[in-house]
Amino acid sequence: MTYGSLDGTREVVLTFDDGPDASTTPEVIDVLNEHDIEGIFFVVGKRLASSRGQEIIERAYNDGHVIANHTYSHPKLTKLGNQEIKDELRKTQDLIGDFASEPLLFRPPYGATNARVDKLIQEEGYLKVMWNVDTLDWDKRSKAWVQHGMDQISNREDSLVLMHDIHPTTAEHVNELITRIKSLGENVSFVSYA
C-alpha cells in the first residue's frame, strides 16, 4: 500500500479492525460519514456470518468505505500451517463477496507475520496493510486513546491509524480524534488508499 503526498499534504488513513459489531460499527460509520471521510474496515469473517454483519458491511461499502480481509477467526497466522492460513483468507473473502476492496487488502491479526505468511498473503492476491499509528484503543478503554493517537499523528507527516470498531470507547470518541486531526491545519487530507 502506498500513501503519502509529494505536495506537503499530511495524509491520514483511518482503519478499523475486528468488526463488524452490531452496536458500535454503525456509530463509527455515522461519524466518518458526518466528516465525509472514507475509512478502511478490516473485517473478521466470523462476524460477517450473521445477516446483521452482512447488512453493516453492505452499508459501509455503499457509503464509500473500503472493506478488507482480517481473517475468519482472528488467529496468529505465524502459528498456523499454510493451508489453514489460506482457509482463513478464503472463508472471509467469500463472505465479503462483492464488497471487497480493489486491490484486495489484508491485515494480519495482531500484526503477526513473517516471511512465510507474507509470501502466502501475496500468493493469494492480497496487499498487506500494516499501520504506523497504534491508538491502543483496545487497551485504553477510556478516551485516553485519543491523546495517545494524537501524540503519534502530530509527530509524523503521514499516518496509517489503527483502531478497532468493536469497542464502545472507540465509537464514542472517534469524532474527537477526527476533530483534533483536522485542527492540525489545512494541509491535512483524509484518504482511504491510493
What are the residue numbers of the active site? 17, 164
CA distances from 136 to 99, 131, 147 (A): 28, 12, 10
Contacts of 93 (CB under 8 A, 6+ apart): 69, 100, 104
Q: How far is CA 79 from the centre of its chain?
A: 22
Distance CA 95, CA 114 (A): 26
CB-side neighbour CA atoms (13 Å) of 6: 1
DSSP 126: P
Taking the C-alpha atoms of residue 88 and residue 73, their distance in angstroms, rounded to an integer, is: 7
What is each CA distance from 173 to 3, 48, 181, in whole angstroms? 25, 24, 13
From CA 154, how far away is CA 150, in angstroms rounded?
A: 6
In angstroms, the CA 73 to CA 84 distance is 11
